[in-house]
Amino acid sequence: MSIVGAFAVPHPPLIIPGVGRGREHEIQHTIDAYEEVGRRVAALAPQTIVVTSPHSVMYRDYFHISPGRRASGSFSQYGDAADRYTVAYDQDFVRELCAAADAEGLAAGTEGERDPSLDHATMIPLHFVQHHYRDFQAVRIGLSGLSVADHYRLGMLVRQVAEKLDRRVVLIASGDLSHKLTPDGPYGFAPEGPVFDERVTSDFASGDFLDLLEVDRGFAERAAECGLRSFQIMAGAFDRTAVRAELLSYEGPFGVGYGVGAFTPVGPDPARNLLDQYLVWHAGQMAARKAAEDPLVRLARLSLETYVTSGRRLKVPDQLPADLPAELADTRAGCFVSLKEDGELRGCIGTILPTRASLAEEIVANAVSAGCHDPRFSPVRAEELPELVYDVDVLTTPEPVPSEKDLDPKRYGVIVSCDDGRRGLLLPDLDGVDTVEEQVRIAARKGGISVGYDDYRLERFEVVRHV
């Protein structure tokens, strides 16, 4: 057997009566759709249910697959200790999936479990499935910071293992849509929120899984979603397979989007080789981006690529590109070099004030530091270089400001500092940083400063961003 069905579902704790205490009826369309999911799962009679969860153990560079014989959890953190859920894990499936990932060179396994208890994004689907069907074992998989292609490949491996073990498998992709649909919602509003939800629910209705792969990670981050990578794993389970797709419900009454989709395989379809199609599309996107890079960005790229591939630092001015603006050798300024990979931060190091003889030298040094010496990340590997996206921010001289009223997170970066030398900085116009309060709090935290207890000073600066 193989994948006999899949469902994309949300996970609002409020939907559990012991948590909602009457308010769950405000998302009745989602409840009704969830009950339909439970009935359909029962009709499919799977031996194994694979749940992909954004709230299980998650690592940047590794898919965590829950180990052990069984796991339990409750909604006690939401004030409902009475509702408890237990599942038995399909240990054979887990073992085979880990082996398949290892053979494929995909970083996935059972190591590094920090908390074995079931998370709410797993328990909520179980709540509705177990209303109708209990004769199954489960596999729980966390998401990761790995690439879109790697999430899709993991879905392909899930199907491969299902076929090898001759299992009837249902895949449940747990994930909410945007958390920023309305100004009065708990996370506020972002214009990307409704656009993201409209796009993904359209993909649910049409079965356009290629579009799910092509969603820009930065756009998804600004929409504050949590389910996209879960849905991308699900898409991989249907590689080269025709799918009957249905959008069972969508609503967002609390400022968070809840979509329920149902997907049934209907036979082979070689034209749905979506990973191949995505990789061609992605290569085109990266080539176009590199062709349009600003000269400062090209210098940063050249600096890091030279260092990673040869171990040598780019010599200034002898090895500078011929078309580099001459003023870079004559100007001094602080700058930050930021790296992203698949929309995720991969390194960011900079200097507030100039520390070298020229801006060119500043960029060359900071590019290497961002790629190889940011303590939050392991050094960039040679195979990552083609996937990196660079920003170079050139800073104006910081100026002190008397209060937060003089700040604007879109226009100004901020420096929060104390007399004892603690200092934190945050660049302007960052995804997800929409208010002065957020900007100051994050900058302070980076410097080990408490905005509630410490006396601190504020400085602001502007940047010219090169992409």
Of 146, 141, 177, 147, nearest in space to 161 by CA: 141
Q: Are residues 390 and 405 in the same domain?
A: no
Q: How confident is the model at residue 368 (pLDDT cuts 50, 70, 90)?
A: very high
Q: Are residues 152 and 179 in the same domain?
A: yes
Instruction: Give yes or no for residue 381 having a pLDDT over 80.
Output: yes
Does an H or E element contain 278, and which?
Answer: helix 274-291
Q: Are residues 27 and 57 in the same domain?
A: yes
For residue 204, the SS3 value is helix
Across the chain, what does the average pLDDT equal?
Answer: 95
Instruction: Give yes or no for residue 317 having a pLDDT over 80.
Output: no
Of the chain, the percentage scoring pLDDT greater than 70 comes to 100
Per-residue pLDDT, averaged over 387-406, amounts to 94
Instruction: Please give the tally of structural domains in the chain.
Output: 3
Q: Are residues 203 and 63 in the same domain?
A: yes
More confident residue, 434 or 385: 385
Q: Are residues 461 and 417 in the same domain?
A: yes
Distance CA 328, CA 357 (A): 10
Name the amino acid, one letter, at 149: A
Instruction: Give yes or no for residue 327 having a pLDDT over 90.
Output: no
Q: Are residues 407 and 379 in the same domain?
A: no
- pLDDT at 398 (0 to 100): 94
Q: Which two structure tokens, joined as six digits, stand for 266?
A: 């209907």
Instruction: Give yes or no for residue 328 having a pLDDT over 80.
Output: yes
Distance CA 344, CA 116 (A): 27
Per-residue pLDDT, averaged over 128-156, amounts to 97
Task: List strand residue ranges (DSSP E) for 274-360, in order.
Answer: 335-341, 344-350
Domain contains 304: yes
Domain contains 297: yes
- pLDDT at 344 (0 to 100): 86
Distance CA 133, CA 110 (A): 27
Distance CA 230, CA 227 (A): 5
Q: Are residues 72 and 52 in the same domain?
A: yes
Distance CA 5, CA 404 (A): 53
Distance CA 9, CA 32 (A): 12
Where among 234, 253, 283 does a domain terminate?
283
Instruction: Give yes or no for residue 462 having a pLDDT over 90.
Output: yes
Q: Name the residue range of residue 336's domain.
A: 293-394
**DSSP character for 134?**
-
- pLDDT at 316 (0 to 100): 82
Instruction: Give yes or no for residue 218 having a pLDDT over 90.
Output: no
Q: What tens digit of pLDDT does each residue of 72-130 get? A: 999 999 999 888 999 999 999 999 999 999 999 999 999 999 899 999 999 999 999 99
Of 417, 401, 407, nearest in space to 437 by CA: 407
Task: For residue 338, give the CATH number of its domain.
Answer: 3.30.700.20
Domain contains 288: no
For residue 136, the SS3 value is coil
- pLDDT at 434 (0 to 100): 84
Q: Are residues 228 and 323 in the same domain?
A: no
Instruction: Give yes or no for residue 170 having a pLDDT over 80.
Output: yes
Name the amino acid, one letter, at 451: V
Task: For residue 416, give the CATH number of its domain.
Answer: 3.30.1490.150
